[in-house]
Chains A and B, each alone.
Chain A
């Protein structure tokens, strides 16, 4: 199984704060990787570095063989649910997805089906600004499912979701793996990651302090 993402001695400093401290990791195709740790431990910054939103202070990030911020500015073939990048507050969920779809010249995705897949009603007339936190979370995941990206990065996807919502996210992640995707998911919920991930990186103060390899996720 080939490595689709490689981080080599990556550090990231924000002013005087060391957010990532010598992170090296490899991500193989078609597996689920969990990133666990308390808030501020470096999980989100790692994701943003992989995506190309953040430039590493030192070290290199490779995604599909391309060096981020050298060969390309943003990671290729990667979708994400990190924050409301690119989503418009005064549009409905469906309008937001349709707009992203058209901008992406994506003919294959069916926005309505994707909304239903994440448990949202595509006919809901509410605008994004009227969405609850849980609905926003689901819409972010829906946006990440647009297109046919090989890598999907989900940052704290269970935040603001009730127990039923968390089970749904776990099921969805396992389905994505079955579809051949590589999923990177962060959470501070140990149980949730134990349930879905094949491999877990435990973060603390910008470092990976532990790696846990599992036989397989609960498929």
Chain B
């Protein structure tokens, strides 16, 4: 990958996400520290919910953590592609690779911070990381075609559905309460999501850049 291009896009990425990043990153760190101070572990903070009808619980903290990374990324992939692509200067594939790479970097440092602030099962964090990496690629790919606000709403709805249905495939792995019964789902789901996300870039031939 062209290091100068990566460096350029990294600066544009930081410039674009800085305020959202500060707010969401600090809020997640504060929640984790407060919970840790109260003697809770990752298993409690990322527990999520297991619905037992007729009662219904909505784990707001889990919902926030699930969405936090996507709130930070925001419209950055679309903005990098549609406003800052140096057309004719770089290969489109190489440029897209920097966009996915920067998303992965953000997911990596965020999840690592969560782990350091609120230690728990390393395997749980690793699987959450895998799942979030794949989702961040999908988040980026979708907004190359659809309005980023709409993509965020799709993700918000998706996570609400995960809360509602105990057996929701793949994404249930992000809940500590359901994690162990969804490990295989996670691996397959992450790989499939990555393949779909990268495959979607082929359809850039059908979209307008201006």
Contact = CB atoms under 8 A, between A and B. Distances in A.
B154 interface: no
Interface in B190-210: 204-210
Contacts, number: 60
Interface in B157-210: 204-210
A103 B89 CA distance: 6
**Most chain B CB atoms below 10 A, which of A52, A54, A88, A103:** A103
A103 B12 CA distance: 15
B90 interface: yes
Interface in B77-114: 83-90, 92
B205 A55 contact: yes
Interface residues of B, number: 22
Contacts of B2: 103
Interface of A is mostly: loop
A13 B205 CA distance: 16
The contact size tier of chain A is 20 to 34
B87 A53 contact: yes
Contact of B4 (A52, A88, A99): A99
A99 B8 contact: yes
Interface stretch (A78-86, A161-169, A179-187, A189-197): A78-86
Contacts of A149: 88
B150 interface: no
Contacts of A55: 205-208
A48 interface: yes
B84 A86 contact: yes
A85 B4 contact: no
Given A86-B85, A88-B12, A88-B84, A103 B207 contact: no
B205 A73 contact: yes
Given A55-B205, A73-B204, A79 B88 contact: yes
A21 to B, nearest CB: 17
B5 interface: yes
Contacts of B4: 99, 102-103
Contacts of A86: 84-87, 89
Contacts of A79: 88
Nearest to B205: A69
B88 A78 contact: yes
A88 B209 contact: no
Contacts of B206: 55, 69
A82 B88 CA distance: 13
Contacts of A52: 209
15 contacts: A52-B209, A53-B87, A54-B208, A55-B207, A74-B92, A82-B210, A86-B86, A86-B87, A86-B89, A88-B8, A90-B15, A102-B4, A103-B4, A103-B86, A147-B88
Interface of A: 48, 51-55, 69-70, 73-74, 78-80, 82-83, 85-86, 88, 90, 99-100, 102-104, 147, 149
List the 4 closest pairs (A to B, CB-CB), nearest first.
A86-B86, A53-B210, A53-B209, A104-B89
